[in-house]
Structure formats: structure tokens, C-alpha cells
Amino acid sequence: PEAQLDRFMFNIKVEYPNLEEEEKILASTSLSEKPEIRKVLSAKSIIYLQRQINMIEVGPMTINYVTRLVRATRPSDGSAPAFVKQMVDWGAGPRAGQYLIAGGKAIAAMSGR
């Protein structure tokens, strides 16, 4: 349902693999051998990183920008452009703004900022 589309932080489009990639996928998944899986981070490390990212401050100008951006996706909002009013039934909810800020904070952290 439309109301559940904001449950996902990112919409990542994955293209079809090329011929060689698809052959590799088929070959690797038709073997009885299990691939080696290596642990990259512990649960404790993940929680630590989440807490560190949550501590990144977001300035009022950024909050204002994200709020206005999200509200502009709602056809009933006065700030929505004409194309949104014509083509969108339901705009983004507050969760979209939360995700934009969380994603921005994560990118900032990965960039060393």
C-alpha cells in the first residue's frame, strides 16, 4: 500500500546483470558449496557506530531545508510545485525527513565530517 512506502530508508534500483555477471550468479548458486562469509562488524560495533552517528548535530538551517523539501512533496501543501499537485497523490511524511537527516549524518560520518 501507498502508506507503507516510507518504511524503507532508501529505494535502490538494481539493474539486470550483464551476461558475464549473470553467468557467475548462476554458476555460484548452482553449486553445493557454501560461500565463505566473513564477519565485518560485531553487533557491539554496529551499535557504537549508530550512537556516534546519532550524536552528530544538525543545524537549524538543515532542519528547515529538509522540512521544506519534504513538505513540498505533499500536493495539499501550499509550497508544493504544480507538477507535484498534478502527479502525486500522497507526499512524503515526517519519516522521510527523519531518514534524510539520518542518511545525511551517516554520509557525513563516512566522509570524516
Q: DSSP state, 57? A: -
Please report the pLDDT score of residue 92 as a whole number: 87
Please report the pLDDT score of residue 3 as a whole number: 61
Give the list of residues 6+ apart from residue 22 with CB closer than 8 angstroms, or none.
Answer: 16
User: Is 76 exposed, middle or buried, given 0-12, 13-18 or 19+ CB atoms closer than 10 A?
Assistant: exposed
Please report the pLDDT score of residue 34 as a whole number: 78
What is the rounded average pLDDT for all residues in the chain?
89
Please report the pLDDT score of residue 5 as a whole number: 63
CA distances from 41 to 47, 53, 103, 107 (A): 10, 16, 19, 18
Q: Which of 105, 96, 77, 102 is nearest to 8 (CA)?
A: 96
Are 71 and 79 within 8 A, CB to CB? yes
Q: Specify the amino acid at residue 83.
A: F
Cα 94–8–98 angle (5° rounding)?
A: 30
Tens of pLDDT, residue by residue over 50-98, are 999 999 999 999 999 999 999 999 999 989 999 999 999 888 889 899 9
Q: Give the pLDDT mean for 1-27.
A: 81
Provide the whole-model pTM: 0.68
